[in-house]
Structure 1
Amino acid sequence: MELSDVDLNLLLLFQRLMRERRVSTVAEQMNMSQPGVSNALAKLRRRLGDPLFVRGPGGVVPTPFALRLAEPVSQALATLHAALNPSTGFDPLLVTRTMTIGMTDIGEVVFLPALVERLSQVAPGIALNTVRNASVNLSDEMADGRVDLAIGLLPQLKGGFYQRRLFDQRYVCLFRRGHPLEDTPLTLAAWREAGHLVVVSAGTGHGQVDEWLKQRGVRRNVRLTVPHFMSVGNILQRTDLIATVPERLAMQLVAPFSLSVRALPMTLPAAPIHLLWHARVHQDEGSRWLRGVVIELFADTATHARKTGSVRKK
Structure 2
Amino acid sequence: MHSIDLRLLAVFDEIYKTGSVSAAADALELGQPAVSVALSKLRHHFGDQLFVRTSAGMEPTPFAERLASPVHAVIEALDVVLDQHNEFDPRTSSRTFRICMTDLSQPVLLPGLLKKLRASAPEIHIEVLPLTEDTARRLQTGEADLALGFLPQLEAGFYQQVLFRQNFVCIAGSHHPRIGDQLTLAQFEAEDHATITSSGSAPLIIDREIARQGIKRRITLKISSFLGAALVVEHTDLIVTIPKRLGDMLRDRGAYRIFPVPFPLPEYEVKQLWHERYHNDPGNRWLRAVISELLSELKPAA
Q: TM-score, normalised by structure 1?
A: 0.65
2: CA distance, partners of 1:111 / 1:272? 16
Report the secondary structure of 1:207's partner residue.
helix
Report the secondary structure of 1:231's partner residue.
helix
Worse-matched range after superposition: 207-216 or 251-260: 251-260
> Match for 1:174 among 163, 171, 176?
171
> Match for 1:90 among 79, 88, 91?
88
Unaligned segments of structure 2, at least 5 residues: 1-80
Q: Match for residue 184 of structure 2?
A: 187
1:207-222 aligned at under 5 Å gives the runs 207-222=204-219
Please say if residues 171 and 245 of structure 1, whose CA atoms lie closer than 8 Å, have aligned partners that are also in contact: yes
Letter in 2 for 1:228: S
Deviations 1:2-56 (A, max 9, x none): xxxxxxxxxxxxxxxxxxxxxxxxxxxxxxxxxxxxxxxxxxxxxxxxxxxxxxx
Worse-matched range after superposition: 185-194 or 159-168: 185-194
Report the secondary structure of 1:178's partner residue.
coil
2: CA distance, partners of 1:86 / 1:237? 49
In proportion to residue count, which structure has more helix? 2
Letter in 1 for 2:124: I
1:1-314 aligned at under 5 Å gives the runs 87-134=85-132, 137-256=134-253, 258-299=255-296
- Aligned length, in residue pairs: 217
2: CA distance, partners of 1:266 / 1:140? 38
Please say if residues 84 and 281 of structure 2, whose CA atoms lie closer than 8 Å, have aligned partners that are also in contact: no
Q: Is the alpha carbon distance of 1:88 and 1:249 closer, same or farther for their aligned partners in structure 2, counting shifts above 3 Å?
A: same
1: CA distance, partners of 2:185 / 2:162? 31
Please say if residues 195 and 229 of structure 2, whose CA atoms lie closer than 8 Å, have aligned partners that are also in contact: no
Worse-matched range after superposition: 144-153 or 104-113: 104-113
Q: Match for residue 57 of structure 2?
A: none
Q: Match for residue 5 of structure 2?
A: none
Letter in 1 for 2:170: C
Q: Is the alpha carbon distance of 1:214 and 1:137 closer, same or farther for their aligned partners in structure 2, counting shifts above 3 Å?
A: same
Identity of aligned residues (%): 35
Deviations 1:123-153 (A, max 9, x none): 111100010013x600001100110001111
Q: Is the alpha carbon distance of 1:104 and 1:264 closer, same or farther for their aligned partners in structure 2, counting shifts above 3 Å?
A: same
Larger Rg: 1
Deviations 1:43-76 (A, max 9, x none): xxxxxxxxxxxxxxxxxxxxxxxxxxxxxxxxxx
Please say if residues 92 and 121 of structure 2, whose CA atoms lie closer than 8 Å, have aligned partners that are also in contact: yes
Unaligned segments of structure 1, at least 5 residues: 1-82, 302-314
Please say if residues 94 and 125 of structure 1, whose CA atoms lie closer than 8 Å, have aligned partners that are also in contact: yes
